[in-house]
Amino acid sequence: MPLNWMPVKWTDKPQLPKAEGRIEAIDLARGLAIGLMIISHAISGLVGIRNVPDWGMVPIHFLTKFSSSLFIMVFGIALAVAFLCIPKVTIGQGAA
């Protein structure tokens, strides 16, 4: 089955299909990122940096790096969904 490719011009704006309601996957990923960030900050704040050996901070740094990267990625996806969706405009009405 051949693929039907359409040529894309540089002036074409990217568009995504309109999402109806909230997207649960974005909410789940955002909640996971915030939860991991809270855990990583709480561990280093409650235990104290001086009481943890150097090798003991490795998992905490892993959580921090993963959660901040996940949060930035989710933020970018949410922006794309918010601003690249096709608006539903009918003839005779303005954009709502």
**pLDDT value at position 31?**
92
Segments in the chain below pLDDT 50: 1
pLDDT of residue 16: 65
Q: So what's the pLDDT on residue 23?
A: 79
Q: CA-CA distances (angstroms) from residue 20 to 29, 45, 73, 85, 96?
A: 18, 40, 21, 11, 15
What is the model's pLDDT at position 25? 87
pTM score: 0.60
The reported pLDDT for the residue numbered 81 is 81
Residue-level pLDDT at 91: 59
Per-residue model confidence (pLDDT) at position 39: 81
